């Protein structure tokens, strides 16, 4: 399996997780409730799904994808340092 095929499988798995998450949430028919669930998942190595940018664009504040990926990688490094030391 090539790296590209592996990345495509990961992206497909992310999309499946997003869909299952959205389907498992309770549907609130209250008209005063304007809450939306925006699934934003970044892998430990900074991997994102194909639909990630679409979901992030729905968040009101401006977010840079590279900064979010950097935060995920630094968080992973922090956890590894604590566990391995």
Q: What is the pLDDT of residues 22-52, one digit of tens each?
A: 666 666 554 455 666 676 777 877 888 888 8
pLDDT over threshold 60, residue 69: yes
Tell me the pTM.
0.51
Cα separation, 9 vs 47, whole angstroms: 12
Which are the contacts of 62, defined by CB distance < 8 A and separation ≥ 6?
none
Q: How many CB atoms lie within 10 A of CB 13?
A: 12
Cα separation, 85 vs 82, whole angstroms: 6
Tokens 């869909």 identify what position?
19
% of residues, the chain, pLDDT over 90? 0
């Amino acid at each position: 399996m090539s790296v590209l095929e592996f990345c495509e499988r990961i992206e497909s798995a992310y999309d499946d997780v997003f869909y299952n998450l959205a389907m498992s949430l309770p549907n609130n028919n209250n008209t005063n409730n304007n809450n939306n669930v925006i699934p934003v998942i970044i892998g430990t190595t900074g991997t994102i799904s194909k639909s990630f940018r679409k979901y992030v664009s729905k968040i009101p504040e401006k977010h840079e994808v590279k900064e979010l990926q950097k935060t995920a990688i630094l968080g992973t490094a922090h956890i590894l340092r604590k566990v391995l030391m």
